[in-house]
Amino acid sequence: MRKPKSSVDLRQIRYFVTVAETGSISAAAARLALSQPSLSEMLARLEDALMVQLLIRGNRGIQLTDAGRLFANRGQAIIESVDQALTDVAQLGGEAKGSVVIGFPPSIALLLSVPLAETVRQELPDVKLRIAESMSGYVLNWVEEEHIDIGIVYQGLNCAHLDVKPLLKEELFLVTAPDNWAASPPSDGPLLAPVEFASLAQIPLVLPSRLHGLRELIERYAKAQNVQLDVALEIDALRHIVSIVSRASAHTILSHAAVMEEVVRGELKLVPIANPKMQRTAYVVRKPGREVSAASLAVEKLLGTILSELIQRHDLVASLA
């Protein structure tokens, strides 16, 4: 394959594309605010660098050769790409404004939706925030299909094809109503005495279905410990699971953040699980190649700030990842 004699810069590409668009060296020179001889000399140097004739000069203007048409088309695409890159960079360096759509799984939504919405309204007045809530698998699909700008998902999903950043690490607890737990004496605090993971086989649980990332994580722990869980009910709605447990009808496995308010009111207690301790990590995911605006970066930055404040304020058993 024959290579150009020397490199070609963006200015030369712009000049040639302008000549191709106008169909005339004189017209292109006028648009570019150049003298016609200077433009003609630049075209000659370009053809010399590429070692190919790009155009044929005539009394009625210019005519592109096959090589000239190809170079003009590819050159136009290069110019548009560079211009878009400059625009995107300028937006990132500018003020945060515009719309941002973020997707949360239910337990994160309970923790973050209200404080995030209030903080964005106060600190980012030019940002229009929309929050969507669903299971991690659906949030992941929304990211892939570009329905949302930012997604928060829990571990266990295939995110290798996405941009992923760890956000929050949580311990998982056996969650119970105080009057439905006789294994340890009552406690004024949120935590009761721990139980062995193996003992979960004798405790009736209400859990989400296997379509839910949390259930898959719990089942992986159980399989690794050769424990058969007693799943009495399957419900794919966090609020209903919490209601069932609060009514002392069953127990469940959740993070502290998912039942923070019920724990504060004394309606639920947390039983640490030992051997092994159960943990999960939440991640921020974006689709590679999708435009990342200054607004979405500002909203993402607030996630960590708000989570840190909530962890300290409510003594959550969690930490920033």
Token pair for 109:
């939504």
Return the percentage of the chain with pLDDT > 90, whole number: 62
Question: Which residue, 180, 169, 190, 175, is CA-closest to 254?
Answer: 175
174 and 298 co-located in one domain: no
Token pair for 198:
């193996």
The yes-or-no verdict on residue 117 having pLDDT over 70 is yes
The yes-or-no verdict on residue 3 having pLDDT over 80 is no
The yes-or-no verdict on residue 93 having pLDDT over 70 is no
Q: In degrees, to the nearest 5, what angle opens at C-alpha 42 toward C-alphas 39 and 44?
A: 110
234 and 285 co-located in one domain: no
Domain coverage including residue 155: 98-169+281-320
163 and 295 co-located in one domain: yes
- Work out the mean pLDDT of the chain and round it to a whole number: 89
Instruction: Please name the helix (run of DSSP H) or strand (run of DSSP E) that holds residue 286, with its range, or none.
Output: strand 278-286
Over the stretch 163-189, which tens digit does the pLDDT of each residue have?
999 999 999 999 999 989 887 666 667
The yes-or-no verdict on residue 148 having pLDDT over 70 is yes
Residues 107/256, Cβ–Cβ less than 8 Å? no
What span, in angstroms and rounded, lies between the C-alpha atoms of 286 and 271?
A: 35
Average pLDDT of the segment spanning 285-296: 89
121 and 149 co-located in one domain: yes
Confidence of residue 6 (pLDDT cuts 50, 70, 90): low
Confidence of residue 299 (pLDDT cuts 50, 70, 90): very high
Over the stretch 226-250, which tens digit does the pLDDT of each residue have?
999 999 999 998 999 999 999 999 9
The yes-or-no verdict on residue 90 having pLDDT over 70 is no
251 and 116 co-located in one domain: no
CATH code for the domain of 59: 1.10.10.10
153 and 291 co-located in one domain: yes
The yes-or-no verdict on residue 321 having pLDDT over 90 is no
162 and 176 co-located in one domain: no
CATH code for the domain of 299: 3.40.190.10
Enumerate the H helices of the chain as residue ranges.
Answer: 10-22, 25-32, 36-50, 66-92, 106-123, 136-144, 213-224, 238-246, 260-264, 294-314
Domain boundary among 31, 62, 92: 92
Token pair for 169:
């690490």
Average pLDDT of the segment spanning 212-234: 92
Cβ-based neighbour number of residue 276 at 10 Å: 11
In sequence order, which residues have a C-beta less than 8 Å from that of residue 42 and are 6 or more positions away? 12, 15
271 and 286 co-located in one domain: no
For the entire predicted model, the pTM comes to 0.67
